Chains A and B, each alone.
Chain A
Amino acid sequence: AQKVTQAQTEISVVEKEDVTLDCVYETRDTTYYLFWYKQPPSGELVFLIRRNSFDEQNEISGRYSWNFQKSTSSFNFTITASQVVDSAVYFCALSESYYGGSQGNLIFGKGTKLSVKP
């Protein structure tokens, strides 16, 4: 069965600290997709990244970076030099390959609430 575990329920850091959000997933499929979403207090889920199971290259986008390791079924997210605007709930999600390549439904973790204090 598919499952996403975000063991950290809440994290609190001081501005400019680096912070890593952990994500561990379970799936029996060989082709799947992994995602990170940000949910600010407004409620809208903001797409951050999608990675397919065949691409284990780490990715950096500005202050954000992602570390995908199939050997440990982990897809961790690091924010460098955190800012107050980074405060939000972050969700990791998993999707099977479906219909010839498009993503299927998203299986979300329970989320990690990040609070960045000035």
Chain B
Amino acid sequence: DAGVTQSPTHLIKTRGQQVTLRCSPKSGHDTVSWYQQALGQGPQFIFQYYEEEERQRGNFPDRFSGHQFPNYSSELNVNALLLGDSALYLCASSLENGGRLGAFFGQGTRLTVV
């Protein structure tokens, strides 16, 4: 059973460019969340998607947007990249009624903005 998969694993972009990160949730999971983790910090919540709708959002500007597809996979888009957007971006999937299980995370996409 494949876990959460993210692509690409590493990415280098220039300031001002746009980037799209992709996530395939764990099989059977219907909820996808995105987190940004700066070096030496804990992950920060960006937003969560369920039934193809954004239903929760953290304190991130509108430059950060996302999408969830009918197969539950998801994309994170960041426009007008800033140097401060350099971070590890983590995707997490979970079940709406997951019982005692927590969210499962992918290995992340390391984004470097130069």
Binding site for B on A (CB under 8 A): 4, 33, 35, 37, 42-47, 49-50, 91, 93, 98-99, 101-111
Contact = CB atoms under 8 A, between A and B. Distances in A.
Majority secondary structure, A binding face? strand
B56 A111 contact: no
A66 B92 CA distance: 23
Contact of A42 (B33, B94, B104, B107): B107
A109 B97 CA distance: 25
B74 interface: no
10 contacts: A35-B102, A37-B105, A43-B88, A44-B106, A46-B105, A50-B101, A93-B42, A105-B33, A106-B103, A108-B44
A104 B42 contact: no
Given A43-B88, A44-B106, A93-B42, 4 more contacts: A98-B56, A102-B95, A105-B48, A106-B33
Given A47-B104, A102-B96, A108 B42 contact: yes
B108 interface: yes
Nearest to A42: B107
A106 B58 CA distance: 10
Contacts of A42: 107
Closest 9 CB pairs of A and B: A108-B42, A45-B105, A105-B45, A50-B102, A44-B107, A47-B102, A43-B108, A110-B42, A102-B96
B98 interface: yes
Given A43-B88, A105-B56, A110 B101 contact: no
A109 B43 CA distance: 8
Contacts of B97: 101-102
B56 A104 contact: yes
Contacts of A106: 33, 35, 43, 45, 92, 103
A117 B35 CA distance: 31
Contact of B42 (A33, A101, A111): A111
A103 to B, nearest CB: 7
B107 A105 contact: no
